Structure 1
């Protein structure tokens, strides 16, 4: 990788961080976030929940075990860009079929390496997640600064409509004991047609799953006559997915068991009268402590979300029917809720697929 060119990460507050570009790319603008995962970078980069985000990896070396066609969570990398401290060009793994830089380059995903990611992460933690740019060059140009200032914020963005599927499909045997309908707001799909992790868990436990697009009507859900309705993870601002909120408001009448994670959890909180807030720098990584309020047990969880349902141990303002069941121990934000009367819950921001 001796031919690396100068590159940089520029944040909307004017801070910038020099690095190098192992592949050629055009300037890219998106929200800059970080994840604390030490491994599993291929799963991170293909997770639809990272759609529209430049991801900073806090682990000091990335790419050391290469890439392969099995460790992916959707049909292609979904991140807008990748920032690393050290990028390995010589993977050591018998399963590897290529290098990380070649794989991301083929998908036209920019990489900036040799960045002081510790300093960048500390800046985001103190200032909050913000818009940013990755671009080639010795230092930020006026053109890149102007384009960054004009780029959209994550607030108000409906990315679920971009990440969802185009048509219904079914996983699992026809004679399964239970039938689940799953709203796809950006679930993780494997390019080889293998079962997604969440769906694999359903099927393994005796369920047939009908996966439906995010804009599917309440009438269609009732026509499918499921034993339960699952609300998936996904990217973007939950408050912007107004069509999904309206549909869930129709369905949350107690006639159908409903449960979900991440974006689905936030959408139902909105449908039942609650509100959501944008977290200062999000919860992304595999080491987030969460307390189960019923048992007092502390769980170390895998998470990837930038928004949360507003609330505390006293409940969810505006949604008196919801009871808070889980709290994050780092910032005391809501990680789980359930309905006090209806079979709605568990609803959590914790991923069960990791």
Structure 2
């Protein structure tokens, strides 16, 4: 069965249907990761977006539910060059096409994903429709699509606790803006009891928990839309409690300090983005998934300094605060399935909590 991708600029790509029946309009983005397609599908940061995989063959090791980053698929649609219908892996539970059907996610295969990626790279991220007829939606309908309240859709509805297997040494209040499960696992491995909190949790509730640390997770959408969380962090940032943020959490913490964010032309999505530690000069390879940046020239150097920068385009990748125990990064140090180069940042967060206890 034929299926089409129609971009808001009028470009039409004809391919074959995969996944569930139905049509969807969403923001079209691409990721350059060569593996971890299951983690991509289930990453809440992709809410409201259809993902294009630049790697040409997807699905070769099937679906392994224990590797999922959330309880369900979060992408709106999925676009690939070629799908492996006969996956081979001792952990495989089902194939990609069946998984997409079960989760109600329409997909498209057999198109020139290289040409599509070049279009998105040169023209910038744009909306598109995955549909059974190229005239199913007007270009005005496609252009009008906006991602609405994605954090509200992916955040935990109530406080949830992730406990370590052994002794609890630290209590961490985690704002869930669309957390990838491995973030909580990395902290639990380091003897943290993680309290996952709804995104709209107020400062008073956090202080009632008396946490040793505060963590701001990744998540989808425009950081400026999270007005409640920004106001909450304006209070908590001066609490003296150690704070760490990742991705959207990085941006929200920056906005709470009065810095600015803006949308990137086509974002950073993949597992091979080089970032430079400005304190040491060392370059790390990182996993990334974001469409917005903290503007480097908006950072008040009296209270903060750039911690990491992107080697490819010079954009900000991390901030360290000078007047408080807090830092944040734009990339994903918890990356699954990798790279693991920057996992030490979790250890740094633990050290901040230890230092606070000693004082």
Q: TM-score, normalised to structure 1's length?
A: 0.91
Q: CA deviation at 1:136?
A: 1.3
- Aligned match of 1:269 in 249, 254, 259? 254
The 8 Å contact of residues 158 and 238 in structure 1, kept in 2 or not, is answered as no
| 1:301 and 2:283 aligned | no
Higher mean alpha-carbon deviation, 67-76 vs 50-59, is at: 67-76
Q: CA deviation at 1:253?
A: 1.1
Q: Distance in 2 between matches of 1:222 and 1:259?
A: 16
Q: Distance in 2 between matches of 1:243 and 1:74?
A: 24
Task: Quote the residue 1:350 is aligned against.
Answer: 331
Structure 1 gap segments, 5+ residues each? 189-195
Q: Distance in 1 between matches of 2:19 and 2:184?
A: 35
Task: Quote the residue 2:87 is aligned against.
Answer: 91
Higher mean alpha-carbon deviation, 205-214 vs 288-297, is at: 205-214
State the aligned residue count. Answer: 334
Q: After superposition, where does 1:51-66 map in structure 2 within 5 Å?
A: 51-66=47-62
Structure 2 gap segments, 5+ residues each? 336-359
Higher mean alpha-carbon deviation, 37-46 vs 199-208, is at: 199-208
Task: Quote the residue 1:260 is aligned against.
Answer: 245
Task: Quote the residue 2:14 is aligned against.
Answer: 18
Q: Distance in 1 between matches of 2:91 and 2:119?
A: 36
- Aligned match of 1:160 in 151, 163, 179? 151
Aligned pair in 2 of structure 1 residues 337, 317: CA closer, same or farther (>3 Å)?
closer
The 8 Å contact of residues 159 and 237 in structure 1, kept in 2 or not, is answered as no
| 1:43 and 2:39 aligned | yes
Q: CA deviation at 1:25?
A: 2.1
| 1:338 and 2:320 aligned | yes
Q: Distance in 1 between matches of 2:177 and 2:33?
A: 23
Q: Which runs of 4+ in 1 moved over 6 A?
A: none
Q: After superposition, where does 1:235-246 map in structure 2 within 5 Å?
A: 235-246=220-231
Please give the secondary structure, in 1, of the residue aligned with 2:255: helix
Q: Distance in 1 between matches of 2:20 and 2:55?
A: 23
| 1:105 and 2:101 aligned | yes
Q: TM-score, normalised to structure 2's length?
A: 0.89
Q: Distance in 1 between matches of 2:124 and 2:137?
A: 24
Q: Distance in 1 between matches of 2:163 and 2:64?
A: 26
Please give the secondary structure, in 2, of the residue aligned with 1:337: strand
